[in-house]
Structure 1
Amino acid sequence: MTIYPHPAAETVTAGLSLRAALAGLPVIGRDEPIAREAVAADFAERYSGVPAVGLARPEPAVLYTGVLPDAAGPADATDPPAGPVPPVPSGRPVPPVLLGLYGDEDRVRGWLPGLPRHTTPRSAAALVAAGLPPVRTDTAPCQQVVAGEVDLRELPVLTATPRDAGPYLTAALVHAGDAATGGSALSAHRMLVIGRDRLTVWMVPGRRLGQLHQEAVARGERLPVTVNIGVPPAAMIASAINSRFLPTGSDKLTVAGGLAGAPVGLVPALTQPGATALAESEIVLEGFLDGTLADEALPGSPPDGSLPEFLGYDGRARSGLPVLTVTGVTTRRDPLYQAVIGPGREQSHILGAAGALSVALSLPSAPALHVHDLHFSPAGGGMLLLAVAVRKESAEGDRALAALAEEVVRRHPFVKTVLFTDDDVRIRSAEELLWALTTRANLGADCVELPGHPPVPMDPSQTAEWAGERGGPPEAPARTFVDATTPYRLRTRTERSFRSAQS
């Protein structure tokens, strides 16, 4: 590993600036020329971890500085109907591509002093209570350079595999505020570049951005937005928290302020009145969502694959997605372009840290159980496998696990398996979880089905076809929880021979 030279960080904390987070990190610099279609595969082969590849390893921050300009890009309605798209005319240098920044959990925690050491209902509530609302400024680093024209082909938007629908933005946060309702949204979405100034946006049903978009369209209005690339780490983690579980008066950017220990900065957009951008972003796309829809495919191609999903399998394209029209582009001087490859430690840590906070905020009171920690394993992409360390206050705690598991999977539909352990188990260690599973559970009796929950289609084992091959009924598969805890009355029989302070 080498310390790679990077633009100097401003005097802001690491939680509030990607550049400050990079400062002092052992960043691997890849200077050799490389096509943007090859960057993701190179990172996956050399550096990525589970579930992208079958290696359990943290991911380093890698900066690709030799990404070649794109000689041809996606066509749109203004292009000629046939023939290649002309090469990018500006001649501006291609921004370096940053991958792997969030690929180490301890690294992320070091940037965010407000992120609880143990994620519990109490610590999550304390984080929200300590939240700091964002502050507005008239000038910001993200507007140091204003593009003279919009041409998304000038950005090194990656194509991860030959089966992808095309180039996708993967680590960009869409920020929207609705002046009519006072609502706001901050969330990451996969966005396919389908033209010089157009993107399709896949919004998981129920997301706040989708609600704001539908409300604006129903009023016959456009929803002004910014797309922020290279955002503060606190904003990235907060963006993945489920806003349904935030109390009235709080929002994701306020939680981001609590994570960083200082408020996030916002700056008004230059081409979209009412929209604001994250001031410390590397690159900002300003634009709007209206009633325009398009298939998740390049012009002239049918919807097919999308890009690698968070569990490590190819995704499937969608039809009739909202189109985001870009009206302006601003950047820092010498900007960095940040991306994720889809599956891998980086995506798992972002989703897992925010997911644990979401679960903690949603848990009901359970007097017989004390939740000691919550952790989403990277093996489930940071979403499907939830480990819960508990301390039982009485024998009633043995029977309280089922109700707690049912409440978790009901409120968090991506959770497939809940694994309960005692509070002497380090649930952030895969070996510790396997030890508890091996010595404190008999799966024939201690693995319990929770039926009646819809499948997660990105998980192949939850499909009707999979169930049919297993000889089972084709209805939606059940969720499960595993009791790898010691029965309350036998707890003295499983005390560990060697005891140490738990992390």
Structure 2
Amino acid sequence: MSDLLSRPEEGASFDLRAAIDLLKQYDDEYIETNEPVDPAAELSGVYRYVGAGGTVMRPTRTGPAMVFNKVKGYEDFRVLIGLLASRQRVARLLGVPKEKLAQLLRDSVHHAIAPVVIPRERAACQEVVHLASDEGFDIRTLLPAPTNTPEDAGPYFTLGMCYAADPETGEHDVTIHRLCVQGKDEISMYFVPGRHLDQFRIKAEQAGKALPITISIGVDPAIEIGACFEPPTTPLGFDELAIAGGLRRRAVELVQGVAVDARAIAHAEIVIEGELMPNYRVQEDQHTHSGKAMPEFPGYTGEAQAAVPVIKVKAVTHRKNPILQTCIGPSDEHTNLAGIPTEASILDMVERALPGLVKNVHCPSPGTGKYMAVLQINKRGPQDEGRQRQAALLAFSAFSELKHVFLVDEDVDVFDLSDVIWAMTTRYQADVDTITIPGVRCHPLDPSQDPAFSPSIRAHGITCKAIYDCTVPWNLKGNFQRSQFMEVDVNRFIPGFSQP
């Protein structure tokens, strides 16, 4: 397995194109097509069958990343989708076994390397510059932002690395947000309450000022994964680009914008520069009035927001022959982006409090990467009985949007949901092994978290969290031994067979 990208040579730079070149070395990891595609729903409609996976409506599957070389109406652009829609592919891009991704990310947080600013002449993202003051400037015709479905509120940028600075402290933050194209130079930006960039925006707005911001699209996948860490692992003021630096053992390179006082990722394919305007809101679905925004990670289309902040675009810069990267909201790409950093955060917090108790963590795709975690518990003696539930409580503390925690023993594969369900079937009794925690704030995009669904819920976004303890009590361990088989060399019987 190659670890080329995670261990770059000194002075080397890695970007989206290097990631694609790496994937081309493997069978079934990358495909491209020259068949013209419409970015309005058709592109996502194709990839839904090719490799979306996740919580996408069936039929779907896990498949290769895909590049569309010809996008109708945008002859100079290609579109990439599904780069991170496979855990195996993420592991290859980061240079570790897929079972060790959480450990790699946890270590990168503790060995973070701050980003650096480079001169503009070295910034590939500024090879071509379009200023909003140019005659005919229109992001709707300049950039092929896709719509996921025919009922979307409009074209969306779904994998833009949004980067801005705290107007009071100068500290930076990078996150991914729902960005809807609203006009020739306007993009709406949806914030789930509590996001750090929204705190920066609020500070600027209270001072009556716009917040300069850049949106970098098509970057090193280490940046995309690192950007998805959340508090308490990355508190307000922690620049998640430093995690990508830790992953690559080399600082992420930034460049000063050409039209706004903000920094962008220097080797991005595309950068949108703009300002979040104070006291200016638009209806997210102002052009469709459908009440719907776009498909989100739980598998449902998110409700259009009545009033969302607006970025006034000042410039668009890009590389020659640029690649616009996108994802399908409920796909494995989204759940991997959310889930793998969550695994790292849980593992880190539990290890600090209860060393050696949790062997691994998995936030599987059916759990959306945010709502469900499976913890592999290593009970070492009677003193560990009960600590598995303490580990679950710590998991909720590590990631506030977590809804369900499953606890399994060390002989259960947390990455195999069939094995997890087997444990729940044979090592769990609902009346004694279900622990509920009602009335806790979670994530507003879960449609079941609403008073209309359950009278126990006081307000939308409140949920009943639950722990499912599927571990065997220590004093009964001897009664729950899995059947042991003879170790054999299968290659004697099937030459070339790859044993797990």
What TM-score, normalized to structure 1? 0.85
Please tell me whether the aligned partners of residues 376 and 409 of structure 2 are also in contact (alpha carbons under 8 angstroms): yes
Structure 2: distance between partners of 1:473 and 1:446: 23
For residues 270-309 of structure 1, the C-alpha deviation after alignment (integer angstroms, 9 at most, x for no partner) is 1112x11111110000111121432343545547100001
For residue 3 of structure 2, what is the aligned residue in structure 1?
none
C-alpha displacement of 1:111: 1.8
Paired positions, count: 466
For residue 103 of structure 1, what is the aligned residue in structure 2?
85
Please tell me whether the aligned partners of residues 232 and 399 of structure 2 are also in contact (alpha carbons under 8 angstroms): no
For residue 51 of structure 2, what is the aligned residue in structure 1?
47
Is the aligned partner of 1:482 residue 2:468? yes
Please tell me whether the aligned partners of residues 104 and 247 of structure 2 are also in contact (alpha carbons under 8 angstroms): no
For residue 355 of structure 1, what is the aligned residue in structure 2?
342
C-alpha displacement of 1:127: 2.4
State the SS of the aligned residue for 1:466.
coil
More moved, 227-236 vs 404-413: 404-413
Structure 2: distance between partners of 1:100 and 1:367: 36
Is the aligned partner of 1:93 residue 2:81? no
Structure 1: distance between partners of 2:452 and 2:156: 29
The aligned amino acid for 1:352 is G
Is the aligned partner of 1:373 residue 2:360? yes
C-alpha displacement of 1:447: 2.2
Closer/same/farther in 2, CA of residues 223 and 343 from structure 1, 3 Å limit: same
Closer/same/farther in 2, CA of residues 474 and 298 from structure 1, 3 Å limit: closer
Aligned partner (choices 28, 31, 34) of residue 34 of structure 2: 31
Aligned partner (choices 129, 132, 156) of residue 146 of structure 1: 129
For residues 131-150 of structure 1, the C-alpha deviation after alignment (integer angstroms, 9 at most, x for no partner) is 22212211211111112544
For residue 293 of structure 2, what is the aligned residue in structure 1?
306
C-alpha displacement of 1:198: 0.6
Please tell me whether the aligned partners of residues 377 and 408 of structure 2 are also in contact (alpha carbons under 8 angstroms): yes
The aligned amino acid for 2:195 is R
The aligned amino acid for 1:65 is N
State the SS of the aligned residue for 1:467.
coil
Structure 1: distance between partners of 2:72 and 2:9: 32
Is the aligned partner of 1:269 residue 2:251? no
Structure 1: distance between partners of 2:318 and 2:390: 49
Please tell me whether the aligned partners of residues 285 and 293 of structure 2 are also in contact (alpha carbons under 8 angstroms): no
Structure 2: distance between partners of 1:247 and 1:171: 22
The aligned amino acid for 1:33 is P
Closer/same/farther in 2, CA of residues 367 and 169 from structure 1, 3 Å limit: closer
C-alpha displacement of 1:103: 1.0
Please tell me whether the aligned partners of residues 171 and 239 of structure 2 are also in contact (alpha carbons under 8 angstroms): no
For residue 78 of structure 1, what is the aligned residue in structure 2?
none
Please tell me whether the aligned partners of residues 131 and 255 of structure 1 are also in contact (alpha carbons under 8 angstroms): yes
For residue 136 of structure 1, what is the aligned residue in structure 2?
117
RMSD of aligned Cα (Å): 2.9
Structure 2: distance between partners of 1:389 and 1:334: 46
For residues 436-482 of structure 1, the C-alpha deviation after alignment (integer angstroms, 9 at most, x for no partner) is 222222234322212221353422333322326xxx77775411111
Closer/same/farther in 2, CA of residues 421 and 56 from structure 1, 3 Å limit: farther
For structure 2, the 5+ residue unaligned runs are 1-7, 488-498
Is the aligned partner of 1:498 residue 2:480? no
Structure 1 moving runs of 4+ over 6 Å? 10-15, 472-475
For residue 491 of structure 2, what is the aligned residue in structure 1?
none
The aligned amino acid for 2:481 is E
Structure 2: distance between partners of 1:377 and 1:13: 36
The aligned amino acid for 1:131 is A
Identity of aligned residues (%): 30
Closer/same/farther in 2, CA of residues 182 and 457 from structure 1, 3 Å limit: closer
Closer/same/farther in 2, CA of residues 12 and 101 from structure 1, 3 Å limit: farther
C-alpha displacement of 1:125: 5.0
Please tell me whether the aligned partners of residues 406 and 450 of structure 1 are also in contact (alpha carbons under 8 angstroms): no
Structure 2: distance between partners of 1:111 and 1:225: 28
C-alpha displacement of 1:485: 1.0
Map 1:325-340 → 2, pairs under 5 A: 325-340=312-327
Please tell me whether the aligned partners of residues 356 and 375 of structure 1 are also in contact (alpha carbons under 8 angstroms): yes
For residues 345-401 of structure 1, the C-alpha deviation after alignment (integer angstroms, 9 at most, x for no partner) is 111111111111222344474448611111101001111110111112332433223
C-alpha displacement of 1:249: 8.2
Please tell me whether the aligned partners of residues 417 and 482 of structure 1 are also in contact (alpha carbons under 8 angstroms): yes
Is the aligned partner of 1:67 residue 2:71? yes
C-alpha displacement of 1:128: 1.9
Please tell me whether the aligned partners of residues 383 and 414 of structure 1 are also in contact (alpha carbons under 8 angstroms): yes
Structure 2: distance between partners of 1:309 and 1:412: 19
Structure 2: distance between partners of 1:239 and 1:152: 25
Closer/same/farther in 2, CA of residues 98 and 11 from structure 1, 3 Å limit: farther
Please tell me whether the aligned partners of residues 306 and 315 of structure 1 are also in contact (alpha carbons under 8 angstroms): yes
More moved, 307-316 vs 134-143: 134-143
More moved, 420-429 vs 15-24: 15-24
State the SS of the aligned residue for 2:149.
coil
Closer/same/farther in 2, CA of residues 63 and 42 from structure 1, 3 Å limit: same
Structure 2: distance between partners of 1:259 and 1:170: 23
Structure 2: distance between partners of 1:340 and 1:226: 19
For residue 214 of structure 2, what is the aligned residue in structure 1?
226
Please tell me whether the aligned partners of residues 216 and 223 of structure 1 are also in contact (alpha carbons under 8 angstroms): yes
Structure 2: distance between partners of 1:399 and 1:410: 18
Is the aligned partner of 1:254 residue 2:242? yes
For residue 20 of structure 2, what is the aligned residue in structure 1?
22
C-alpha displacement of 1:119: 6.4
Structure 2: distance between partners of 1:354 and 1:491: 32
Map 1:171-320 → 2, pairs under 5 A: 171-178=159-166, 180-246=168-234, 250-273=238-261, 275-299=262-286, 301-302=288-289, 304-320=291-307
State the SS of the aligned residue for 1:132.
coil
Structure 2: distance between partners of 1:303 and 1:114: 44
Closer/same/farther in 2, CA of residues 287 and 391 from structure 1, 3 Å limit: same
Structure 1: distance between partners of 2:302 and 2:107: 37
